[in-house]
């Protein structure tokens, strides 16, 4: 790790079922893959530099992609050490009612099933039986699931186009 002027030194510890998978992901990256600089994986943690501040948004997006939470310790130039903890939306503690809806969303195998689960979510919104945080988490997870279906559909269409073109 370098101690270049203006560079923030970061250490990230991931938590969740895919902890090793995300470490392998970072281990396969180039040493300097902005916003992650001087990337190293050792002692079951990710170590890297960044410019001025930790790249919380990029790190959080990757954590959501791998369904892991993380804790980052960082040292910003000319400031004291800081800590930030991020909990992946899949790992967020929710009420039993909201947790059941999360399980329904995760279990959906196609857009039609997900639309059916969205109907349950709408009922809870109308009944005001979930708090705003739970609604935000479930709404995000529903959108993420729809995006997964869209990506799979695009990939399948591309695969079919390749087969037809041969």
Q: Tell me how many domains the chain contains.
A: 2
pTM for this structure?
0.66
Tokens, residue 100? 């059941």
Give the domain range for residue 133.
Answer: 96-165
Q: Is residue 79 located within the same domain as residue 15?
A: yes
CATH number (domain holding residue 72)? 3.30.70.1270
Q: What is the pLDDT of residues 112-129, one digit of tens each?
A: 999 888 888 888 878 888
* Residue 115 located in a structural domain: yes
Q: Is residue 28 located within the same domain as residue 73?
A: yes
Quick check: 114 and 152 in contact, CB under 8 A? Answer: no
Q: Is residue 14 located within the same domain as residue 77?
A: yes
* Residue 66 located in a structural domain: yes
Quick check: 17 and 8 in contact, CB under 8 A? Answer: no
Q: Is residue 103 located within the same domain as residue 59?
A: no
In angstroms, the CA 83 to CA 72 distance is 6
In angstroms, the CA 62 to CA 97 distance is 28
84 beta partners? 72
- Provide the 10 A C-beta neighbour count for residue 13: 16
Query: Average pLDDT over the chain, rounded to whole?
Result: 86
């Amino acid at each position: 790790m370098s101690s270049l002027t203006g560079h923030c030194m970061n250490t990230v510890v991931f938590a969740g079922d895919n902890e090793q998978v995300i470490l392998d992901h970072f281990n396969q990256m180039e040493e300097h893959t902005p916003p992650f600089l001087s990337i190293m994986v050792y002692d079951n943690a990710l170590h890297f530099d960044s410019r001025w501040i930790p790249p919380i948004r990029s790190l959080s997006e990757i954590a959501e992609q791998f369904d892991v939470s993380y804790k980052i310790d960082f040292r910003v130039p000319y400031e004291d050490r800081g800590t930030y903890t991020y909990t992946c939306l899949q790992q967020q503690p929710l009420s039993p009612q909201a947790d059941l809806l999360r399980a329904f969303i995760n279990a959906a195998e196609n857009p039609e099933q997900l639309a059916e689960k969205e109907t349950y979510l709408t009922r809870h919104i109308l009944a005001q039986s979930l708090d705003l945080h739970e609604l935000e988490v479930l709404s995000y997870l529903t959108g993420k699931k729809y995006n997964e279906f869209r990506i799979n559909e695009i990939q399948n269409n591309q695969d079919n186009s390749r087969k037809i073109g041969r």
